[in-house]
């Protein structure tokens, strides 16, 4: 922290403080600097310190502290305007707008005082010669605040009609305000159209698009544009998260979570900024924040989570129910103060409407994780059916199992519970035991045997044999395949004999024959898993499956169960074909099996086989069939598909679409995969899906969204579970996103962490690339020494890998870094010379024509950069008035020009492939020649560029057009100087 000893150190201290994060600490420092300025006894210093105090205070939650320093500043202006420079005069008048909005936020300031202040602002602006555009904007906020719609509309129209001048807000802020008023009036389409240039990055400032992104969330949801709303939430929350002054915008994001089924995410946002519960210096934004906290807590309570612990104001523990009541009471109390001040009920009514909003969507997946401790949203459940008698429940269970409905086992369980303690028929008891066993998996063998006894007691020998077969099969599922084969042999022989004597039907016989085939399929699976030859097992299983088909084909007659047997047998043959190395046959059979299940009215049975088909088709390179199969599986699974399976299918489809270079569609599927993996509670799989989603977002240049998602993925990725390659890739991608967002220091840290992991890999290409990228980020973060070390590390690795391109580029980057040091000119030139030599050496050793052409281009670029570097050195020496004995800085410019001419010569030799690189170097050489007083040379270079593009038809019209314009300008200047 700079000590203030004179005016210069005061200015330095203010600059340092302006760069600190928003908040009380920065405000206290600003107050201290005002006292330091008073101690200096320099009137202009006090003016600048007061300006600084007002400016930093405005961007905080302590806006109630702005009025005193501004009043002092205004008094100084009235008494001694000579102490104000142009910047301070501009700031003083600009602050009138902040005072107007600041008064609105303070319920203790009377409405009459605000109206008087508005008149004073208008008078001062008129005296200063400013337009009344900003005045009418301030009037709009006053009228809108008290609910005077007529006056607000008039002020809005006058605002737009007045001329823009230097007191008008920037374009981004003005569009924000105009769109806000449209949204307040229910004109969402108009609001979003006005905000579009801000959202698309055409206009921006220190607090935009931060505010517009937050304001756009509800209008987008109301218009059904949920995808855009999700994107704006992920983009916007990164911007407002560190900014204390943007509590109201932060509240918009919490509200968005509460209204889209993302209550757990909303709780995380509350936990991230506990200070937002406090900050009494801006009652208006505190009221809005507490209002959405109440909304969120009411949502949790409605979902049955009212007693869950939640983050709240510090000093005590809170449940959702308690915090909801507290937040509502506090918010309404603040609203009452505003309404009392305003003499209306408008603020309270608007707040109640906000707190009582109903969700706009049941579910809007965001792609980001929530902490395991955060209460997850309880999905809506189907209310239990009214009490029914056991006979009705048994009939329902039989109906569902007869048609192979997915919830038949649950229906039998409900019937069993209702019938407990009652006298049942033997058949009832047999079926209840049979279906209870089905729900137990390998643990159900004994219960299947009991069911078999009961069927036999009832006189149904065929169903008894089928139940015994089911008991044998679950033994195979438990790992005892040979025991299962022995156990199924007798039921198999008996049922065939019984069927031949018409002692049982085809359905029961098919059940036993299919059970035996299933056991034999398990034997094949085990042989494959052990890596043993499975030809004998394959043959036996294939014969058994064909026996099923021979039995049931032609006997369906509308019998769903027999149709299902045939389809399953077809799928078994597909499985066997895959094991036998016949993938195309397997694909055809899986497709036929799935189609038969769908035709039988059993689409949910097709899902497993469509997923298998997709895997095989993908292996065969048939992308279209892979996609069709995956989409069919998702469609046919419908509501019956469990979250883990749904997550898997969506992620496979995302991979397919990503491989087809459709990152937008791939991201949609990856987002669904994330949602369903979260619903399944599978954090490891969700991390995979998030990583993939982040990658697809990155490919679309959706940097902020990608960063949010990848940060979430990184929290759950581990080298033990996912492999260190996945961790490195995620860090790499996240570093790229953060670099694009200007968060260079964080990007460098991630790239260095990734490089440290990659350092231990046998292949060092990734290590070198990551070290190089870390150097780029460190340089952009203004850490030249650290950047130089990273580039040096990368250069050593490029040398070891035999990659001259990487080595040369690392040397060039180090040269430019060296130039930042006060005495770094010689070192910079030496590093660039080393880059030239490395490139020339590699070129001499290159064998193939392609390699030689690439290295020649690299040499040309290095000469070009060398010329630019020498010119920069000469310029800086000239600015400092430095001269070497017997030589002026012109020698430096001559050396720079010589390097540029070398670049032109190299690129010329490469022909049309390097025409853009050559013309770039020609223009640089021409400009430098003109500066050296040689217009004829400059004209020659300009002419060469124009000639190069005279008949260029390679589709590079944009580059050519720019170069032609630059060459024309250079030509005119050269002829003027000649």
Q: How far is CA 928 from the centre of its chain?
A: 46
**700/721 Cα distance (integer angstroms):** 28
DSSP symbols for 883-922: -BTTB-THHHHHHHHHHHHHHHHHHHHTGGGGHHHHHHHH
Distances (CA, A) of 384 to 387, 388, 516, 855: 9, 11, 39, 74
Q: What is the pLDDT of residue 977?
A: 87
Residue 361 has pLDDT above 90, yes or no: yes
Q: Positive or negative CA dihedral for 465, 471, 476, 480?
A: negative
Q: What is the pLDDT of residue 227?
A: 95
Residue 62 has pLDDT above 90, yes or no: no
**540/534 Cα distance (integer angstroms):** 10
Q: Could you tell me the two tokens for 352?
A: 């109640």
Query: Mean pLDDT over residues 659-685, rounded?
Result: 94
> Are the C-beta atoms of residues 164 and 131 closer than 8 Å to each other?
yes
Q: Positive or negative CA dihedral for 409, 415, 417, 422?
A: negative
Q: What is the pLDDT of residue 296?
A: 98
Q: What is the pLDDT of residue 529?
A: 87
Residue 959 has pLDDT above 80, yes or no: yes
Query: Mean pLDDT over residues 178-198, rounded?
Result: 97
Residue 850 has pLDDT above 70, yes or no: yes
Query: Mean pLDDT over residues 744-753, rounded?
Result: 96
Lowest mean pLDDT among 168-177, 385-394, 590-599, 689-698: 385-394
Residue 236 has pLDDT above 80, yes or no: yes
- pLDDT tens digits for range 142-157: 999 999 999 999 999 9
H-helix or E-strand containing 766?
helix 765-780
Q: What is the pLDDT of residue 587?
A: 96
**498/489 Cα distance (integer angstroms):** 14
The chain-wide mean pLDDT, for the chain, equals: 93
What's the pLDDT band for 14 if we cut at 50, 70, 90? very high
Question: What letter would DSSP give residue 118?
Answer: H
Query: Mean pLDDT over residues 251-274, rounded?
Result: 96
- Predicted TM-score (pTM) of the model is 0.86
Distances (CA, A) of 852 to 10, 108, 916, 918: 58, 77, 19, 17
- Within 10 Å of residue 813's Cβ, how many Cβ atoms? 23
> Are the C-beta atoms of residues 22 and 30 closer than 8 Å to each other?
no
What's the pLDDT band for 49 if we cut at 50, 70, 90? very high
Q: What is the pLDDT of residue 888?
A: 59
Q: What is the pLDDT of residue 887?
A: 47
The share of the chain scoring above pLDDT 70, in percent, equals: 97
Query: Mean pLDDT over residues 736-753, rounded?
Result: 96
Task: Tell me phi and psi for residue 884, to 5 degrees.
Answer: -85, 155
Q: What is the pLDDT of residue 381?
A: 39
- Within 10 Å of residue 802's Cβ, how many Cβ atoms? 9
Residues 6+ positions from 51 with CB-CB distance below 8 Å = 73, 88, 91, 92
Query: Mean pLDDT over residues 812-828, rounded?
Result: 93
The closest of 55, 74, 153, 137 to 104, measured between CA atoms, is 137
Our CA dihedral for 383, 387, 393, 396, rounded to 10 degrees, sits at -40
> Are the C-beta atoms of residues 197 and 175 closer than 8 Å to each other?
yes
Query: Mean pLDDT over residues 402-430, rounded?
Result: 91
The C-alpha angle with vertex 627 and arms to 623 and 630, in degrees rounded to 5, equals 140
What's the pLDDT band for 958 if we cut at 50, 70, 90? confident
Query: Mean pLDDT over residues 85-89, rounded?
Result: 94
> Are the C-beta atoms of residues 517 and 541 closer than 8 Å to each other?
yes
Q: What is the pLDDT of residue 881?
A: 73
310 bridge partner residues: 318
Residue 797 class from Cβ within 10 Å (0-12 exposed, 13-18 middle, 19+ buried)? buried
Residue 217 has pLDDT above 50, yes or no: yes
Task: Tell me phi and psi for residue 856, to 5 degrees.
Answer: -65, -40
Residue 432 has pLDDT above 80, yes or no: yes
Query: Mean pLDDT over residues 738-744, rounded?
Result: 96
**922/930 Cα distance (integer angstroms):** 12
What's the pLDDT band for 588 if we cut at 50, 70, 90? very high
> Are the C-beta atoms of residues 212 and 179 closer than 8 Å to each other?
yes
The share of the chain scoring above pLDDT 90, in percent, equals: 85
> Are the C-beta atoms of residues 170 and 211 closer than 8 Å to each other?
no
> Are the C-beta atoms of residues 651 and 689 closer than 8 Å to each other?
yes
> Are the C-beta atoms of residues 91 and 55 closer than 8 Å to each other?
yes
Residue 633 has pLDDT above 50, yes or no: yes
What's the pLDDT band for 378 if we cut at 50, 70, 90? very low
Q: How far is CA 708 from the centre of its chain?
A: 5
Lowest mean pLDDT among 117-126, 673-682, 871-880: 871-880
Q: What is the pLDDT of residue 131?
A: 95
**614/551 Cα distance (integer angstroms):** 29
Residue 556 has pLDDT above 90, yes or no: no
Residues 6+ positions from 280 with CB-CB distance below 8 Å = 286
Residue 382 has pLDDT above 80, yes or no: no
Q: Is 208 helix (H, G, I), strand (E, B) or coil?
A: strand
Q: How far is CA 690 from the centre of its chain?
A: 9
Q: What is the pLDDT of residue 358?
A: 95
- pLDDT tens digits for range 440-458: 988 999 999 999 999 999 9
> Are the C-beta atoms of residues 269 and 257 closer than 8 Å to each other?
yes
Query: Mean pLDDT over residues 559-581, rounded?
Result: 95
**797/803 Cα distance (integer angstroms):** 9
Q: What is the pLDDT of residue 978?
A: 79
Residues 6+ positions from 536 with CB-CB distance below 8 Å = none
What's the pLDDT band for 66 if we cut at 50, 70, 90? confident
What's the pLDDT band for 581 if we cut at 50, 70, 90? very high
């Amino acid at each position: 922290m700079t000590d203030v000893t004179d005016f210069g150190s005061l200015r330095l201290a203010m600059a340092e403080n302006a760069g600190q994060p928003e908040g009380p600490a920065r405000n206290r420092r600003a107050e201290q600097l005002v006292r330091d300025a008073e101690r200096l006894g320099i009137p202009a210093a006090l003016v600048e310190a007061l300006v600084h105090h007002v400016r930093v205070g405005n961007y905080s939650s302590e806006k109630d502290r702005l009025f005193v320093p501004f009043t002092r500043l205004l008094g100084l202006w009235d008494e001694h305007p000579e102490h104000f420079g142009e910047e301070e005069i501009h700031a003083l008048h600009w602050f009138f707008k902040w005072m107007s909005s600041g008064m609105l936020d303070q319920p203790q300031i009377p409405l009459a005082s605000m109206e008087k202040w508005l008149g004073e602002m208008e008078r001062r602006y008129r005296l200063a010669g400013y337009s009344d555009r900003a005045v009418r904007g301030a009037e709009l906020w006053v009228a809108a605040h008290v609910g005077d719609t007529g006056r607000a509309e008039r002020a809005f129209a006058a605002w737009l009609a007045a001329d823009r001048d230097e007191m008008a807000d920037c374009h981004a802020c003005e569009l924000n305000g105009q769109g806000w008023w449209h949204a307040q009036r229910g004109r969402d389409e108009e609001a979003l159209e006005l905000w579009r240039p801000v959202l698309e990055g055409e206009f921006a400032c220190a607090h935009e698009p931060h505010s517009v992104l937050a304001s756009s969330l509800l209008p987008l949801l109301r218009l059904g544009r949920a995808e855009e709303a999700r994107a704006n939430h992920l983009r916007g929350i990164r911007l407002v998260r560190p900014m204390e002054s943007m509590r109201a915008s932060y509240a918009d994001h919490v509200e968005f979570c509460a209204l889209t089924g993302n209550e757990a995410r909303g709780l995380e946002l509350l936990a991230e900024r506990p200070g937002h519960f406090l900050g009494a210096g801006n009652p208006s934004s505190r009221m809005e924040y507490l209002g959405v906290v109440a909304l969120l807590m009411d949502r949790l309570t409605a979902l049955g989570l009212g007693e869950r612990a939640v983050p709240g104001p510090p000093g005590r523990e809170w449940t959702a129910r308690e915090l909801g009541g507290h937040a509502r009471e506090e918010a309404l109390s603040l609203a009452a103060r505003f309404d009392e001040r305003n003499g209306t009920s408008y603020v309270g009514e608007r707040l109640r409407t906000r707190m009582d909003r109903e969700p706009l969507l049941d579910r809007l997946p965001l792609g980001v994780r929530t902490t395991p401790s955060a209460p997850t949203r309880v999905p809506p459940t189907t209310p239990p059916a009214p009490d029914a008698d056991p006979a009705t429940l048994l009939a329902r269970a039989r109906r569902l199992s007869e048609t192979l409905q997915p919830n038949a086992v649950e229906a039998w369980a409900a019937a069993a519970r209702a019938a407990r303690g009652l006298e049942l028929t033997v058949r009832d008891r047999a079926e209840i035991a049979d279906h209870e066993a089905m729900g137990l998996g390998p643990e159900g063998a004994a219960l299947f045997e009991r069911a078999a006894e009961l069927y036999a007691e009832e006189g149904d020998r065929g169903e008894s044999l089928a139940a015994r077969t089911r008991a044998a099969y679950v033994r195979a599922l438990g790992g005892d395949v040979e025991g299962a084969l022995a156990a199924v042999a007798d039921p198999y022989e008996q049922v065939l004999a019984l069927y031949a004597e018409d002692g049982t039907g085809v359905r029961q016989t098919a059940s036993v024959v299919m059970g035996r085939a299933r056991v034999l399929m398990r034997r094949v699976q085990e042989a494959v898993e052990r890596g043993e030859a499975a030809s004998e097992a394959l043959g036996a299983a294939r014969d058994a499956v064909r026996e099923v088909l021979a039995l049931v084909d032609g006997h369906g007659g509308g019998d769903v169960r027999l149709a299902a047997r045939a389809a399953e047998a077809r799928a078994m043959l597909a499985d066997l074909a895959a094991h036998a190395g016949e993938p195309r046959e397997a694909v055809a059979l899986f497709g036929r099996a799935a189609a038969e299940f769908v035709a039988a009215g059993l689409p949910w049975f097709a899902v497993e086989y469509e997923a298998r088909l997709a895997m095989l088709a993908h292996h065969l390179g048939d992308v279209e069939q892979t996609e069709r199969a995956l989409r069919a599986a998702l469609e046919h699974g419908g509501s019956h598909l469990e979250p883990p399976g749904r997550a898997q299918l969506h992620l496979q489809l995302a991979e397919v679409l990503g491989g087809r270079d459709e990152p937008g569609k791939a991201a949609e599927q990856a987002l669904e995969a994330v949602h369903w993996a979260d619903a399944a509670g599978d954090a490891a799989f969700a991390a995979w899906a998030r990583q993939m989603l982040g990658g697809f977002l990155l490919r679309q240049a959706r940097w902020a969204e990608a960063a949010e998602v990848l940060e979430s993925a990184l929290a759950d990725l581990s080298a033990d579970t996912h492999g260190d390659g996945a961790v490195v890739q995620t860090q790499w991608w996240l570093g790229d996103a953060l670099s694009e967002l200007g968060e260079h220091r964080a990007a460098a840290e991630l790239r260095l962490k990734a490089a440290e992991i990659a350092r231990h890999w046998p292949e060092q290409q990734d290590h070198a690339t990551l070290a190089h990228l870390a150097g780029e980020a460190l340089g952009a973060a203004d850490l030249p020494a650290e950047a130089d070390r990273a580039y040096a590390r990368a250069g050593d690795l490029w040398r070891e890998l035999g990659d001259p391109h990487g080595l040369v580029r690392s040397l060039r980057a180090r040269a430019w870094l060296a130039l930042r040091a006060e005495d770094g000119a010689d070192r910079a030139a030496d590093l660039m010379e080393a880059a030239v030599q490395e490139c020339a050496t590699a070129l001499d050793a290159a064998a193939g024509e392609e390699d030689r052409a690439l290295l020649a281009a690299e040499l040309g670029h290095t000469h070009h950069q060398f010329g630019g570097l020498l010119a920069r050195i000469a310029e800086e020496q000239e600015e400092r008035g430095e001269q070497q004995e017997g030589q002026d800085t012109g020698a430096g410019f001559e050396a720079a020009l010589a390097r540029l001419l070398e670049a032109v010569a190299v690129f010329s030799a490469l022909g049309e492939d390097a025409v853009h690189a050559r013309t770039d170097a020609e223009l640089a050489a021409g400009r430098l020649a003109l500066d050296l007083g040689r217009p004829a040379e400059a004209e020659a270079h300009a002419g060469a560029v124009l000639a190069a593009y005279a008949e260029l038809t390679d589709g590079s019209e944009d580059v050519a057009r720019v170069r032609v314009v630059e060459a024309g300008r250079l030509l005119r200047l050269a002829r003027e100087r000649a």
